Amino acid sequence: MTAQEPANKRIIAFIDGQNLFHGAKEAFGYTHPNYDVLALAKAICAMQGWDFGKVRFYTGIPDPSDDPFWHGFWSKKLLTISRQGVYVYSRSLRYRNKRVKLPGGTYATYLTG
């Protein structure tokens, strides 16, 4: 017996904030994560004819000592979207050294989140 696809599909959207931002930046040139994850999920569901269920949102946040501006920005944004009913999960960014080859064959190392 083959399972039948349900007539009504109820969706839970899982969104990675950093991936969404970098995708929007690459595609549209955005320099600020000004997206509305709830509106985005609902719009995609409407376009596909799906029943909207929930949104789960994840992002890493810099520590206040590393980047006070972005820590404050993300803290406020996460509070706002959680009040909209979006389930929010965040953690402190982890940093690592990244080594890149420069023109001329030399290497440079920098810290990245």
Residue 98 pLDDT > 90, yes or no? Answer: no
Residue 28 pLDDT > 70, yes or no? Answer: yes
Query: Quick check: 75 and 61 in contact, CB under 8 A?
Result: yes
Residue ranges per structural domain of the chain: 10-112
CA distance linking residue 90 with residue 34, whole number of Å = 17
Residue 85 pLDDT > 70, yes or no? Answer: yes
Neighbours of 108 (CB within 10 A): 9
* Amino acid in position 97: N
Nearest to 78 by CA among 22, 33, 23, 28: 33
How does pLDDT run across 53-79, given as a tens digit for each residue?
A: 999 999 999 999 889 999 999 999 999
